[in-house]
Chains A and B, each alone.
Chain A
Amino acid sequence: MTTFPLFLAAVRARVDEAGARWLDHAVSLAGAGGDILPRAYTAAPKHVGRAPLGLDATERRALAAVAPHLTVDRWTTDDAARCVLLLAAADRLDSDAFVRVAIHCYENGDAREQQSWLRAVSLLSDPDRFMAVAIDACRTNIVPLFESIACENPYPAQHFPERNFNQLVLKALFNSVPLARIVGLDTRRNPELARMAGDYAAERRAAGRSVPADIALATEDGRAAEEITG
C-alpha cells in the first residue's frame, strides 16, 4: 500500500466541496500528458489552500504503518495535494514519462513548489531515480528549501552517498539548522563526517566564534564530541 489513498482522503477531509472536486478531477487527469499535470501541480494551493495539514491520531497511525520514517508535521494541505498528484501520475505513466514530468514539476517550480516536491520525494516509487535532483537541492541558498530535503525527511539517510550526506550535515551546521531534525543521522555517522565536524569546530575557534552545541551529533561518540566542543 502506498500513501496515495491516505493523503487523498486527508486533503479531501480538509477542503470544501469545490476543492475536493478539483482534486478528484486533477487526479483523474494526472496521466494525461502535456502540461496538465505541471499546471495542476502549480495551481494546487489555489484550490486546497495552504493550511497546516495537522493529521489526527488515526491518520498518523495509518501513515506510520506505510511510511515509518516520514514526519509530516510541517506539511500543508497543498504539499499533500501535490504529493497525491505525483503519486497518481507515477501510477498511470510509464517510468520514463513519469520521471520527465516529475522533474519538470521540480525544475520549473517556484521555491514552494520545489519544497512540496522534496518533502514527497521519499514516497515516489524507485526514489533513487531522483537522487540527482535531491542532491542538487542541497546546494540551494534558500534555507527553507534546504530544510525540506534535509529535515524531517528520510530520503537523504536512505539514499545519499556518504559524501553528499556529510555535506548536507555540514551545511545544516553552517546554517544553524538543528542536527536533531536530520532523520537517520545516527545511522549514517562516519569517521569522515567526524573529521569534517572537527575541522569546522577548529575553524570556528580560530575565527574567535562559537561552536554549535549540537555538533556532537555529527561525531561518532560522546568523547569525540567533548574534544570538539571543549
Chain B
Amino acid sequence: MKIFDPHVHMTSRTTDDYEAMAAAGIVAVLEPAFWLGQPRVTAGSFVDYFNSLVGWERFRASQFGVRHFCAIGLNPKESNNPKLTGEVLGLMPRYLEKDGVVAVGEIGFDDQTDAEEASFRRQVELAREFNLPVLIHTPHRDKKRGTERSIDVVRSVGFPEERVLIDHNNEETLPLVLASRCWAGHTIYPNTKMDEQRMAALVQKYGSDRIIVNSAADWGISDPLKVPKTIAVMRERGISDDTIERIVWHNPVAFFAQSGRLDLAELSERPSVDRSQKFEANSVLRGEQR
C-alpha cells in the first residue's frame, strides 16, 4: 500500500528517517511551512526557509525515493509580529508560483488574537488568488472554539470549503469539520493530540470520507512512522484495506491534486534514486561518493 504523509516537517528530521519512511511505504510527503521553535525576528529568515523547502529539502527527499511537496505560509504564532507579518505576506506570492508548492499553510489560530485572524484571512485570500488549497492548523488551547472560528474565517472569505484541510482534529472537533465540507486531518503523536487506537476508533465511527492521517513529525517528540503504525492498528481492528488506502493515499492525493500541480502518473512511481546527483554542488552523501 502506498502512503502519503500529508503533514511532516522533514527539515527537522534525519536521513535515517527518510530511509525508514521509504521502507515503510511512504512515497510522498507534504511539508508545510511552520515555526521553528522560537520566533524569527527578520523576514530574511523566511526567504531562506522557503527556499530550503522548495530546494534542498525537496532534493534530499528525492535521494531516498520520496516525493516532497510543500505548503507555503506564515504560521499563526509569528503572525503576532506585525512588522514580520507584513514583510512575509509580501514574499509569499513569489513562492506560491513555484513547482512543488501545492497549498498555502500551515495557517490558522494559536492564541486566537486579532492579528492572527487578519494574517489567516489574508492568506486564505492569497490561496484563492493562486487557486491553491489551504492547510489549517488548529490551536492546542481552546481548540474547539479555534476550530469553529477557523471554519468561520473560511466562510467569511467565501473560500470553497472542499479546498480546505483542517488539521490536528480530535474527538471534539472532528464532528464540527465533517459538518462542513472541509477535509479533516489527524496528527498521530506519541503523547499528545491523537494516538493510533483513538484514530482507529474514529474511523470505525465516522468512516473514511474526507478523513486524513499524518505524523506532523518535527523537532519535538514525534514519529515520522506514525502513519504506517496507524495502518497496522487499523488492520488489527478489522478496518478494510480499501478504507485504509483511501485514508492514507487516495484522500491526500485527491485533496492536494486540487492545486493542479500533482502529476498523478509521476506520483504513482517512486522517484528514481540517483545518489550521484547533486543540488547546487551539495550531495547528501558526504564522503561516500565514488
Q: Which residues on A are within 8 Å of B, measured CB to CB?
A: 107, 135-136, 138-142, 163-164, 167, 170-171, 174, 196, 199-200, 202-203, 206-208
Q: What's the minimum C-beta distance from B213 to chain A, rounded to whole angstroms?
A: 16
Asked if A207 and B170 make an inter-chain contact with CB atoms under 8 angstroms apart, the answer reads yes
Asked if A196 and B142 make an inter-chain contact with CB atoms under 8 angstroms apart, the answer reads yes
Asked if B172 and A140 make an inter-chain contact with CB atoms under 8 angstroms apart, the answer reads no
Asked if B39 and A139 make an inter-chain contact with CB atoms under 8 angstroms apart, the answer reads yes
Q: Would A141 and B220 be within 8 Å (CB), given that A163-B111, A203-B172 are in contact?
A: yes
Q: Would A203 and B140 be within 8 Å (CB), given that A139-B77, A139-B111, A141-B220 are in contact?
A: no
Instruction: With A141-B38, A167-B111 given, name 7 new contacts (CB 8 A).
Output: A107-B41, A139-B110, A142-B38, A163-B112, A199-B142, A200-B142, A208-B198
* A138 contact set on B, CB distance < 8 A: 111
Does B128 sit at the interface, judged by CB under 8 A? no
Cα of A107 to Cα of B40 in the assembled complex, Å: 10
Question: How many inter-chain contacts with C-beta < 8 Å in the A-B complex?
Answer: 54
* B41 contact set on A, CB distance < 8 A: 107
Which residues 97-132 of B sit at the A interface, judged by CB distance below 8 A? 110-113
* B145 contact set on A, CB distance < 8 A: 196, 199
* A174 contact set on B, CB distance < 8 A: 140-141
Residue of B112, B142, B144, B172 ringed by the most chain A CB atoms within 10 A? B142
Q: List 5 A-B contacts (CB under 8 A).
A: A170-B141, A174-B141, A199-B142, A200-B142, A203-B172
* B113 contact set on A, CB distance < 8 A: 163-164
* A140 contact set on B, CB distance < 8 A: 38
Q: Which residues on B are within 8 Å of A, measured CB to CB?
A: 37-39, 41, 77, 80-81, 110-113, 140-145, 170-172, 194, 198, 220
Q: Which residue of A lies closest to B38 (CB)?
A: A140
Q: What's the minimum C-beta distance from A129 to chain B, rounded to whole angstroms?
A: 16
- By Cβ-Cβ distance, the 8 closest A-B pairs, closest first, are A206-B171, A170-B141, A167-B111, A139-B77, A196-B142, A203-B172, A206-B172, A199-B144
Q: Which residue of A lies closest to B144 (CB)?
A: A199
Cα of A199 to Cα of B38 in the assembled complex, Å: 28
Asked if B144 and A203 make an inter-chain contact with CB atoms under 8 angstroms apart, the answer reads yes
Q: What's the minimum C-beta distance from A131 to chain B, rounded to whole angstroms?
A: 12
* B81 contact set on A, CB distance < 8 A: 136
Q: What's the minimum C-beta distance from B35 to chain A, rounded to whole angstroms?
A: 9
Which of A107, A142, A199, A207 interacts with B198 by CB under 8 Å?
Answer: A207
* A107 contact set on B, CB distance < 8 A: 41
Q: Which residue of A lies closest to B141 (CB)?
A: A170
Cα of A140 to Cα of B39 in the assembled complex, Å: 8
Q: Which residue of B lies closest to A208 (CB)?
A: B198
Cα of A207 to Cα of B202 in the assembled complex, Å: 11
Cα of A199 to Cα of B39 in the assembled complex, Å: 28
Asked if A196 and B141 make an inter-chain contact with CB atoms under 8 angstroms apart, the answer reads yes
* A171 contact set on B, CB distance < 8 A: 141
